[in-house]
Structure 1
Amino acid sequence: MMAHPLLIAVALLDMISLVAVLSAAVTAFKILLKWNPGSAGKDQIRLERRAETSAISGRFGLAGFVLASTILLIGISNVLPDIVPGAMCGTGVCQAADGLFGRAIMFRLAVMAVLFTWLGLDRLNRSRPRAPLTLLGARVLLIGVPLQVMAILDTLRGSLSLNVRAPVDCCTLVYDQMNTGVVVWGFPGVPESYAVWAFIVLSTLLIGFGTSVAAISRFRNTVMGALLGALSILWAPVAVFALIHIFSAYIYGVLQHSCPWCLFLAEHRFIGIPLFFCVAVVALEGGFAWIAAALRGTYPELERACSVRIQRAARRLVGTTVMFCLITGLPAVLWRIRHGVWISG
């Protein structure tokens, strides 16, 4: 293992987080086997107390995992390139780790999506004395455990295989392909304008629809909540594609440099951090709005709590979508004003 303090810190935080989540998962498994809300016996009371403790443990594990993932992201993008020959950004670091860091990040995103969903369910569950979502929350928490194990294993394997002796191509490969006329970004046959218009239309719909949902005094429309979630989930990949393949050109000042890792560099003012944070918020809040809309019809006692949660998600969606559009759109508008044309001609 590369004995770098940052990687050691990530490994320690991962282990602490895993222990906390496993502790909560043990209780979740017992809940699936023995949970009986209609019973007043000692076993049920003891299990309810353990459920309270496991909720705290799960929150602690989620916080530790998010912190470890944040440190790893900063390390890959800004710290480790200094010790990997030829690396200019996180692309070179991932190459030096045989792609394991990239896969670890994918697993980490999946883990955080599952655990944030569990957290949302737990908060809804606590809004009612009968705790109707206890079993569902336990199942969701157990889904996250194998994903977290895979994320941690890939992170450790990436740290062990990190090659700091052999040079990597990193972004020079992108520039070499660009100079030889090879198309390295976009979908073959799909004009750039289609992606731009798809992003504009989806952003407009999401902001407008989210504003209308948030403005309703007494929200009662389950279909609107589901549509809001569907729009958000559809918007997220389109926004990422538009950012990496279109709007990043105005940030880099050069065409055909489709590297998401360069957005996290200091020379670009770490602009990737708020941008991908916005995408994550939209995806998570939109996904949970969809879940809350489904729960609203299944559990009548949670109707009010789910309605409040959907409207809160709508407000967050509108705010983060507007922020994303401003951060990505402003460099493009300034380029147009300064040069009189778009960067692609």
Structure 2
Amino acid sequence: MARKRKITIPRIEDINVTLDTSCMHPILEDNTLLCLHGGRVNLKAKKAKRIKYNNVPIMLHDEIQGASISGCLNPPVAGGPCTKVALVFPYTYSKHKINNKYSVYQMGLIGVSNKGYPVLSIPKGNKIKLALTKIQASPLAKIKYDRIRWQGIANKPKSAKKSKEKAKMLLYLENENKKGKVSDKEVHLYKHNGIWSKDTPKPRSPDYILEDGKFKYPDNDGYKIPPKPREITLKKGMKLDRYGDNSGSFVCPFKEKKGAMPYEKRSLPYENNEVMQRTYKRYEVTEDINMESIDRKVRMSGNDKLVKKIEGLKAKNEFHSPKIGRISPCFEQEGGGTQIKLPISIERLMQLGFIKQI
């Protein structure tokens, strides 16, 4: 929501007020008021129900101002949907008060929404006629300025940026939802209430999210080059760890004496918080892992889907033994740690009996 700011409105004193003979029809409860993007103002008369035309009561200015708007199609990049009427312009008020409030005439542009867009009245005839006032200011009128609080379009660029950031975070959640990692409820909660689930790791910044909802990872698989990463054989008994689920293929070596590698040295795109810490896992290699041993076990497994995957990796020259190298700084993290890229996911290696979670 845009930040409230103060603006000045001219207040003219010593004016000559004469009655205008022209009349206009006031807005009734069944009138159509729309924002610029087609959102409809929900009108509900409360204070002047006794003044009616065809059994439809008249609307007062304070009932229109603050009324909710539904169905607005303004996209998030332009500030998001209008949700209520922020201001009804005083020039649309009738001369006489009703229950100490003013009725509002069908004068086309009657006000603005909370997003700073025009609210328009669609003309619709009725037989209620209230006189306007014709105001003519004296050339010697004293003009003073009243300071009021107005939430308008001044902060629109900031609001648009915030909406764009939310849209990117939503794309990420929807992408994770397709993978089955995030529930429909979590997506709905963020989309409609802006609440991020306490059980879902949160990206550090929407700037790291692409238009397809995936992360914009660094080149070279996140290795700091030079030197180039080298292929190794992971020996039986070696310990590994990672943050995240078992669908990934990047791990870090774990050494009992030194303990786990600091989070900031891993250059991960997620905030380091309690949710992320709960995803920490540790593994032990139960059988030597290299390109040849994986290829042999995959063929012995009889898993046609996995065999086809390995063949596809070979065709792209992407099937390799585990690669070890330095981590490049990324996602505003210092990097510098050591990472190992496995040829297939941890989940697959566990199924084949190469590693176990400890």
TM range (shorter): under 0.3
- Larger relative contact order (Cα-Cα within 8 Å, sequence gap ≥ 6): 1
Computing the radius of gyration over CA atoms, which structure comes out larger, 1 or 2? 2
Identify, as 1 or 2, the structure richer in strand.
Answer: 2
Alignment TM-score, normalising by the size of structure 2 = 0.24
Alignment TM-score, normalising by the size of structure 1 = 0.25
